[in-house]
Amino acid sequence: MMIRRPRRNRKSAVIRELVEETTLSVRDLIFPIFLIEGDNQAVAIDSMPGMYRYSPDRLLDEIGACAELGIRTFDVFPSLPESKKDRRATEGTNPEGLYLSTLRKIKEHYPDVCVMTDVAMDPYSSDGHDGLVQDGKILNDETLEILGNMAVAQAEAGADILGPSDMMDGRVGYMRQQLDAAGFTDVSIMSYTAKYASAFYNPFRDALDSAPKFGDKKTYQMNPANRREALLEAELDFEEGADMLMVKPALFYLDIIRDLSEAFPIPIAAYNVSGEYAMTKAAAAQGWLDGERIMLESLLSIKRAGAKIILTYFAKEYAQGVKEGRW
């Protein structure tokens, strides 16, 4: 005679929902969104079906539409022409430039929206790297001053959360010092703590035209073979004052999400990256997979692994389905 029958807790939809261990909400999601120059522009990204690069006016419209669906946090990424890029990424601190002026407009139009930013040199660098390049080498300490100035400029423009994605050693502590000295003690830092040198970033680099002009990023992004190293990176960022720790990519690094969530008492974020999104969309377009079910299962698995926050290109699609009662 069997006393313990787990199927009893699965016998109806009501009971399954009653005992559900992991729940997903629109409030868990951050929507990455792409910015370009111009007016009335919404340029499709071929490798990311359903995603667009928006001019500032259309970006404001898109944020408004998403806010009505319940999305409250947006991570804004700029795509700049080569003419605006230089070796020291000076456009990243130009208060009248595309990025910083648009951040101010977002906060003026939607003061209750949470704006996250990207702190790294690559969108503005003529070399396409996240750090200052000299003689083919990525300089770590010399990059920190540039990142610190960029962080303060973004805070001045109204950023709520800064996302240093560069993977330079010591950047969280340096940025925290610069922000606090400038009076921005309330501006949060979500550190890209375990950012792996992954093959899943290519559609994002297409969207921003930010691929490195030489070599790769393996001297600063993490080796996909390493797990314990993520704990070291997390410990450093935590001690330097990070408010949230991020793992990137998400789906192929669920073990890293779990490790960090168990080891640190601050929120863990995970970036469901462009390649993970593109894979799902491509398979769904071929009829090989049910795209909506894959989206839901993917997001749920990231949350189940321990991520409190998920950056995902599926945010709008998921929020629309919630509004329509489809899941």
Which residue out of 248, 281, 303, 316 is catalytically annotated?
Answer: 248
The H or E element containing residue 190 is: strand 188-195
Per-residue pLDDT band at 210 (split at 50, 70, 90): low
* Residue 287: band (very low, low, confident or very high) from pLDDT cuts 50, 70, 90: very high
The number of C-alpha atoms within 13 Å of 312 and in the hemisphere containing its C-beta is 32
Which listed residue (195, 217, 281, 316) is catalytic? 195
**Phi, psi for residue 23 in degrees, rounded to 5:** -120, 145
The structural domains of the chain, with segments of one domain joined by +, span: 22-323
Confidence of residue 129 (pLDDT cuts 50, 70, 90): confident
**Residue 127: per-residue pLDDT:** 81
Give the whole-angstrom CA distance, residue 83 versus residue 91: 10
CA atoms within 13 Å, Cβ hemisphere of 304: 10
Whether pLDDT at 206 is above 80: no
248 is catalytic: yes
The yes-or-no verdict on residue 212 having pLDDT over 90 is: no
Would you say 241 and 281 are in contact if contact means Cβ atoms under 8 Å apart? no
Per the annotation, binding residues for Mg(2+) are: 233
Query: Which architecture characterizes domain 22-323 according to CATH?
Result: Alpha-Beta Barrel (3.20)
Instruction: For residue 239, name the pLDDT band (cuts at 50, 70, 90).
Output: very high
Q: How confident is the model at residue 215 (pLDDT cuts 50, 70, 90)?
A: low
pLDDT band at 205 (very low <50, low <70, confident <90, very high): confident
Pick out the residues of the known binding site.
233
Q: State pTM to two decimals.
A: 0.95
Tens digits of residue pLDDT in 78-121: 999 999 999 999 999 999 999 999 999 999 999 999 999 999 99
- CA–CA gap between residue 77 and residue 13 (Å, rounded): 41
User: Which of 252, 295, 297, 293 lies closest to 22, judged by CA?
Assistant: 297
User: Which amino acid is located at 310 in the chain?
Assistant: I
> 262 by DSSP, 3-state: which?
helix
* Average confidence (pLDDT) over 18-31: 96
Distant-in-sequence contacts of 196-199, Cβ < 8 A, 24+ apart? 196/221, 196/222, 196/223, 196/224, 196/248, 196/249, 196/253, 197/221, 197/222, 197/223, 197/224, 198/224, 198/248, 198/249, 198/252, 198/273, 198/275, 199/275
